[in-house]
Amino acid sequence: MARHLITSAIPYINGIKHLGNLVGSQLPADLYARYLRGRGHEVLFLCATDEHGTPAELAAAKAGKPVEEYCAEMWQVQADLAEGFGLSFDHYGRSSSDQNRKLTQHFAGVLADNGLIEERSEAQMYSHADGRFLPDRYIEGTCPNCAFEDARGDQCDNCGKLLDPVDLIEPHSTISGSTDLEMRETKHLYLLQSKLKDDIDAWIDSQDGWPVLTTSIAKKWLHDGDGLQDRGITRDLSWGVPVKRGDEDWPGMEGKVFYVWFDAPIEYIACAQEWVDAGKGDDWARWWRTDKGADDVRYTQFMGKDNVPFHTLSFPATIIGSGEPWKRVDYLKSFNYLNYDGGQFSTSRGRGVFMDQALDILPADYWRWWLLSRAPETSDSEFTWEAFQTDVNKDLADVLGNFVSRVTKFCRSKFSEDVPAGGTFGDAEHTLIADLQTRLTAYETAMDNIEIRKAAAELRAMWAAGNEYLQSAAPWAVFKEDPEQAAAQIRLALNLIRIYAVLSAPFIPTASAKLLSAMNTLDTDWPSDMKKAVTALGEGHAFTVPDNLFAKITDEQRDEWSARFAGKRD
Please state, in angstroms and rounded to a whole number, the distance separating the CA atoms of residues 271 and 250. Answer: 25
Contact criterion met (CB below 8 Å) for 90 and 46: yes
For 414, counting Cβ atoms within 10 Å of its Cβ (0-12 exposed, 13-18 middle, 19+ buried), the class is middle
Phi, psi of 47 (to 5 degrees): -155, 170
The residues near 338 (Cβ < 8 Å, ≥ 6 apart) are 19, 20, 23, 24, 345, 371, 374, 376, 380, 381, 382, 383
pLDDT tens, 492-505? 999 999 999 999 99
Please state, in angstroms and rounded to a whole number, the distance separating the CA atoms of residues 237 and 537. Answer: 62
The DSSP 8-state label assigned to residue 256 in this structure reads -
Residue ranges of the binding site for ATP: 347
The DSSP 8-state label assigned to residue 349 in this structure reads T
Contact criterion met (CB below 8 Å) for 265 and 315: yes
Please report the beta strands in 20-70, taking only residues with DSSP state E, as ranges in sequence order.
Answer: 42-49
Q: Is the pLDDT of residue 486 over 80?
A: yes
Lowest pLDDT segment from 308-312, 349-353, 551-555: 349-353
Residue ranges of the binding site: 143, 146, 156, 159, 347
Confidence at residue 154, expressed as pLDDT on a 0 to 100 scale: 83
Contact criterion met (CB below 8 Å) for 82 and 26: yes
Band (175; pLDDT cuts 50, 70, 90): confident
Amino acid at 22: L
Confidence at residue 570, expressed as pLDDT on a 0 to 100 scale: 41
Arithmetic mean of pLDDT, 476-497: 97
For the chain, the average pLDDT equals 95
pLDDT tens, 204-217? 999 988 999 999 99
Q: Strand pairing of 234-235 and 257-258?
A: antiparallel
The DSSP 8-state label assigned to residue 412 in this structure reads H
Residue ranges of the binding site for Zn(2+): 143, 146, 156, 159
pLDDT tens, 275-316? 999 999 999 999 999 999 999 999 999 999 999 999 999 999
Q: How many percent of the chain have pLDDT more than 70?
A: 98
Nearest to 271 by CA among 21, 525, 29, 8: 8
How many other β-carbons are positioned within 10 Å of the β-carbon of residue 349? 13
The residues near 177 (Cβ < 8 Å, ≥ 6 apart) are none
Q: Strand pairing of 181-191 and 234-235?
A: unpaired
Confidence at residue 568, expressed as pLDDT on a 0 to 100 scale: 56
Element containing residue 187 per DSSP (H, E): strand 181-191
**What residue segments make up the domains of the chain, in order of their start?**
3-114+196-223+260-335, 117-191, 381-533
Amino acid at 504: S
Band (157; pLDDT cuts 50, 70, 90): confident
Contact criterion met (CB below 8 Å) for 158 and 148: yes
The DSSP 8-state label assigned to residue 512 in this structure reads H
Confidence at residue 327, expressed as pLDDT on a 0 to 100 scale: 98
Arithmetic mean of pLDDT, 526-532: 98
Helices (H) and strands (E) in the chain, counts: 22, 18
Q: Is the pLDDT of residue 199 over 70?
A: yes
Confidence at residue 349, expressed as pLDDT on a 0 to 100 scale: 67
Please state, in angstroms and rounded to a whole number, the distance separating the CA atoms of residues 19 and 40. Answer: 30
Contact criterion met (CB below 8 Å) for 159 and 146: yes
Q: Is the pLDDT of residue 106 over 60?
A: yes
pLDDT tens, 107-134? 999 999 999 999 999 888 999 998 888 8
Please state, in angstroms and rounded to a whole number, the distance separating the CA atoms of residues 521 and 517. Answer: 6
Phi, psi of 323 (to 5 degrees): 70, 10
Arithmetic mean of pLDDT, 78-99: 98
Where b means 16+ CB within 10 Å and e means fewer, 382-399 reads ebebeebbebbbebbbbb
Contact criterion met (CB below 8 Å) for 39 and 526: yes
Q: Is the pLDDT of residue 153 over 70?
A: yes
How many other β-carbons are positioned within 10 Å of the β-carbon of residue 333? 25
Arithmetic mean of pLDDT, 370-393: 97
Q: What three-state secondary structure class fits 191?
A: strand
Bridge partners, residue 257, by sequence: 235, 242
pLDDT tens, 47-73? 999 999 888 988 998 899 999 999 999
Contact criterion met (CB below 8 Å) for 72 and 107: no
pLDDT tens, 10-44? 999 998 999 999 999 999 999 999 999 999 999 99
State the sign of the Cα–Cα–Cα–Cα dihedral 129, 130, 136, 142: negative
Element containing residue 445 per DSSP (H, E): helix 427-448
Could you say which of 1.20.1560.10, 3.30.700.30, 3.90.1150.180, 2.170.220.10 is the CATH number of the domain covering 117-191? 2.170.220.10
Please state, in angstroms and rounded to a whole number, the distance separating the CA atoms of residues 506 and 558. Answer: 26
549 CA to centre of own chain: 25
Please state, in angstroms and rounded to a whole number, the distance separating the CA atoms of residues 74 and 70. Answer: 6
Please state, in angstroms and rounded to a whole number, the distance separating the CA atoms of residues 502 and 149. Answer: 55
Architecture in CATH of 3-114+196-223+260-335: 3-Layer(aba) Sandwich (3.40)
Class of domain 381-533: mainly alpha
Q: What three-state secondary structure class fits 176?
A: coil
The residues near 302 (Cβ < 8 Å, ≥ 6 apart) are 6, 7, 8, 9, 25, 26, 28, 29, 32, 333, 335
How many other β-carbons are positioned within 10 Å of the β-carbon of residue 176? 15
Based on its alpha-carbon atoms, the radius of gyration of the chain, rounded to whole angstroms, reads 27
Phi, psi of 564 (to 5 degrees): -65, -35
Bridge partners, residue 299, by sequence: 5
